[in-house]
Amino acid sequence: MRQIVLDTETTGLEPEQGHRIVELACVEIQNRQVTKNHLHLYVNPDRDSDPEALRVHGLQTEFLAQHPRFPEIADQLADFVQGAEVIIHNASFDVKFLNAELVRAGKPKFETLCAKVTDSLMVAREMFPGKRNNLDALCERFGISNAHRTLHGALLDSELLGEVWLAMTRGQDSLLMDGEQDGATGVAGGAAPRFDASGLPVLPAGADALAAHEAYLDELDKAAGKPCVWRSLGAPDAAEGV
């Protein structure tokens, strides 16, 4: 599925208090690669930003007044996220603003425009419980440089979150991404090496375990009214192992 990493900047914390979106960015991920296809828009909120929000994003009212209002860019957003999984850090915050703007523009709610919304903050909290999981902390944890992030910006934050997301969800792919490009090593393009189990230790069952096993088989015999399949097959050959 096509994935979109999305971030917004706003005039404040609560759309119910009249706060609006001032910047929106979407960065595309295809086949676990961040592409050059992105959507980046500044939005005229028709109001000033709260001082705390202005310190975060630095977008002045005079600058934003030169850009379109949200109803003018709503269709661009809908077209870009259509059919995609949208990844947002602290998704509840951004989605409540997106829904407030979309409803005001006479459009469907955001969740109906895309295939799925995934909260990367919730994923990070499951992976790293009890630790800081904001974007800066995750960049540091995964060795992603954010030295150029002096202010929050929707496009920059989306690009960083895209890198963080790929690192967080790398999983089994790391076997292919980190291996040597030699066919004998079993990485992409080569045959997988044969697994040699001869070095695995054999741990025979002790007396207590064997007694418990026999007791369990007795219960199976009693429940079935006849010897269980294990006993009807006979004990395994000791030479073959268990």
52 three-state secondary structure: helix
Q: Give catalytic residues, as residue numbers.
A: 152
Tens-digit pLDDT profile for residues 159-217: 999 999 999 998 644 434 444 444 444 444 444 455 555 566 777 888 888 888 888 88
Tens-digit pLDDT profile for residues 3-27: 999 999 999 999 999 999 999 999 9
Residue range 93-113: mean pLDDT, rounded? 97
Q: Give the CA angle between residues 82, 17, 93 to the nearest 5°.
A: 40
Inter-CA distances, 68 with 2, 24, 44, 45, 205, Å: 27, 12, 6, 9, 74
Q: Which residue has the higher pLDDT, 240 or 205?
A: 205
Name the maximum alpha-carbon separation found in the chain.
Answer: 87
For position 216, what pLDDT does the model report? 84
The CA distance from 242 to 239, in Å, is: 9
Q: Where are any strands of DSSP class E within the chain?
A: 3-10, 21-30, 33-42, 85-88, 116-119
What are the backbone dihedrals phi and psi of residue 134, each rounded to the nearest 5 degrees, phi first? -75, 175
Instruction: Kindly write down the DSSP assignment for every residue of 188-201, as one continuous string.
Output: TTSPPPPP--TTSP
For position 239, what pLDDT does the model report? 39
Tens-digit pLDDT profile for residues 54-99: 998 999 999 999 999 999 999 999 999 999 999 999 999 999 999 9
The CA distance from 55 to 58, in Å, is: 6
